[in-house]
C-alpha cells in the first residue's frame, strides 16, 4: 500500500484511535501519526509505548499541518473538540470522527469547522470491552464494517480517499444516511448494550441474596452479558444521550415483546414461546453467512484445559 495522508492527527487515544494507529502502520497508510489526549496520563502511556510518531500536548497543536484529523473522543465532547481544532485546521484537510452516533455528532461538529475543509463522518463497527491507549491492536477492523455518512454535497475525492484509508485498515466500507445509521445501530448495538447493562445490574443487586453464586455459576448467557456490560461507561452514556430518539423507539418495541413473552410464561403458553424461539434462530444463521461471526461453539473459545484433554 502507499501513503494516503502525509500527516494524520488522532484526537483522543482510546481503543479505536490506538487500533487505527496500529492498522495505519501495518498498511503503511500514513506518513506521520500525531496523537493527543486530554489526560496527561494517557499521553504519557501513549508516548511510552510508541503508539504514535509524536504526542502533542493539545488538540490545537496536533492538527497543525495535518491532512487528516480523526476525532476519537467520546460523543459527548465532540463539540468541544471541534471548537478547539477549528481555527487551526489546514485548508483542504479532511476531518472525520469515529463516534457511534452520527446525526448528533454532525450537529456538534459541523458549526465549528471552516468552509475550506472536508468533513466526512464515520463509524467503524468494531470494538472490544477494553479501553485506553493500551487496548488497541492492528486487526480490530479486519473484515468489519466501517460506515461513512457523508453530508449532502460532500467532496467525492475526499470521501474516496477516506474510504481507501479504512479499506487499508482492513475494513469493508459502506456509505449511508446519518439517520438510517442511527436507527440501525440502535437495534444492533445501542439497545442490546442497555439491556445487557440492566441485566448485569439486576444480578449485582441480587448478590446480597446469593453471595458470590451469581458470579461463580455465571453460565453462558449472563457471562456474555457481562462482557458487553464491561464496556466504557462514558462512551455508552454519551451514546444513549445522543441517540435518544432511536434508542427509546427500539426500547419501546423491546418492552412490548418482552411483556408478551412474560405473559406466555405466566399463562403457560408453550407454543408462543417455542414459535418465538424458533424464529430467532434463523437470524443467527444469517449473521454467520454474512461472515460477521464464527460458527464455532462458544465463539471458538479455547477450552480452559485443552492440554489435559488432548488424549
Distance separating alpha carbons of residues 34 and 12, to the nearest angstrom: 11
Closest CB to its own copies among residues 76, 86 = 76
69 vs 200 by CB, closer to its own copies:
200
Separation of alpha carbons 108 and 181, rounded Å: 17
Burial class (CB in 10 A: 0-12, 13-18, 19+), 225: buried
**Distance in Å, CB of 30 to its own copies, minimum:** 16
- Closest distance between its own copies and the C-beta of residue 46, in Å? 19
Instruction: Give the residue with the Cβ less far from its own copies, 96 or 146.
Output: 146
CB 122 within 8 A of CB 149: yes
Looking at beta carbons only, is 26 or 64 nearer to its own copies? 26
Least gap, CB of 189 to its own copies (angstroms)? 4
Bridging pattern class, strands 145-148 and 122-124: antiparallel
Query: Grid coordinates representing 196?
Result: 445487557
Residue whose CB is less far from its own copies, 115 or 266: 266
Name the minimum Å distance from CB 7 to its own copies: 23
CB of 214 to its own copies, least distance (A): 6
Cβ atoms within 10 A of the Cβ of 268, count? 8
Q: How far is the CB of 44 from its own copies (least distance, A)?
A: 23
State the cell numbers at 121: 463522518
3-state secondary structure of 311: coil
Q: Based on CB atoms, which residue is closest to its own copies, 119 or 225?
A: 225
For residue 260, the SS3 value is helix
109: number of Cβ within 10 Å: 23
3-class DSSP assignment, residue 145: strand
For the CB of residue 178, give the shortest distance to its own copies in the complex, in Å.
Answer: 14
Nearest approach in angstroms of CB 15 to its own copies is: 9
Of the two residues 18 and 35, which places its CB atom closer to its own copies in the complex?
Answer: 18
Nearer to its own copies, 57 or 257 (CB): 257
Give the β-pairing of 145-148 and 94-97: unpaired
Least Å distance, CB 18 to its own copies, is 12
Of 223, 220, 216, the C-alpha closest to 200 is 223
Residue nearer to its own copies on the CB measure, 44 or 207 = 207
Residue 3 to residue 28: CA distance in whole angstroms = 6
Which residue intervals of the chain are DSSP H helices?
15-27, 40-48, 59-62, 78-85, 103-109, 156-168, 178-185, 191-210, 213-216, 222-228, 233-242, 244-267, 270-289
Amino acid at each position: 500500500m502507499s501513503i494516503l495522508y502525509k500527516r494524520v492527527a488522532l484526537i483522543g487515544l482510546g481503543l479505536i484511535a490506538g487500533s487505527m494507529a496500529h492498522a495505519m502502520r501495518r498498511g503503511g497508510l500514513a506518513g506521520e501519526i500525531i496523537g493527543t489526549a486530554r489526560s496527561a496520563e494517557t499521553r504519557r502511556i501513549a508516548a511510552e509505548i510508541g503508539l504514535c510518531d509524536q504526542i502533542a500536548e493539545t488538540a490545537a497543536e496536533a492538527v497543525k499541518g495535518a491532512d487528516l484529523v480523526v476525532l476519537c473522543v467520546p460523543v459527548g465532547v465532540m463539540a468541544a473538540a471541534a471548537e478547539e481544532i477549528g481555527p487551526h485546521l489546514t485548508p483542504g484537510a479532511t476531518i472525520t470522527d469515529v463516534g457511534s452516533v452520527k446525526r448528533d455528532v454532525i450537529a456538534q461538529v459541523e458549526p465549528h469547522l471552516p468552509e475550506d475543509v472536508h468533513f466526512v463522518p464515520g463509524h467503524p463497527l468494531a470494538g472490544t470491552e477494553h479501553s485506553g491507549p493500551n487496548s488497541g491492536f492492528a486487526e480490530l477492523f479486519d473484515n468489519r464494517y466501517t460506515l461513512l455518512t457523508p453530508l449532502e454535497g460532500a467532496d467525492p475525492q475526499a470521501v474516496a480517499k477516506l474510504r481507501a484509508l479504512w479499506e487499508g485498515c482492513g475494513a469493508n466500507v459502506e456509505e449511508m444516511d446519518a439517520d438510517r445509521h442511527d436507527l440501525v445501530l440502535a437495534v444492533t448495538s445501542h439497545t442490546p448494550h442497555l439491556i445487557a447493562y440492566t441485566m448485569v445490574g439486576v444480578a449485582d443487586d441480587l448478590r446480597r441474596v446469593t453471595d458470590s453464586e451469581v458470579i461463580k455459576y455465571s453460565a453462558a448467557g449472563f457471562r456474555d452479558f457481562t462482557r458487553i456490560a464491561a464496556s466504557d461507561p462514558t462512551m455508552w452514556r454519551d451514546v444513549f444521550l445522543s441517540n435518544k430518539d432511536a434508542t427509546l423507539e427500539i426500547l419501546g418495541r423491546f418492552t412490548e415483546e418482552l411483556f408478551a413473552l412474560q405473559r406466555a410464561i405466566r399463562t403457560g403458553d408453550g407454543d408462543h414461546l417455542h414459535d418465538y424461539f424458533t424464529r430467532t434462530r434463523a437470524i443467527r444463521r444469517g449473521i454467520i453467512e454474512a461472515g460477521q461471526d464464527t460458527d464455532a461453539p462458544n465463539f471458538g473459545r479455547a477450552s480452559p484445559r485443552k492440554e489435559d484433554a488432548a488424549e
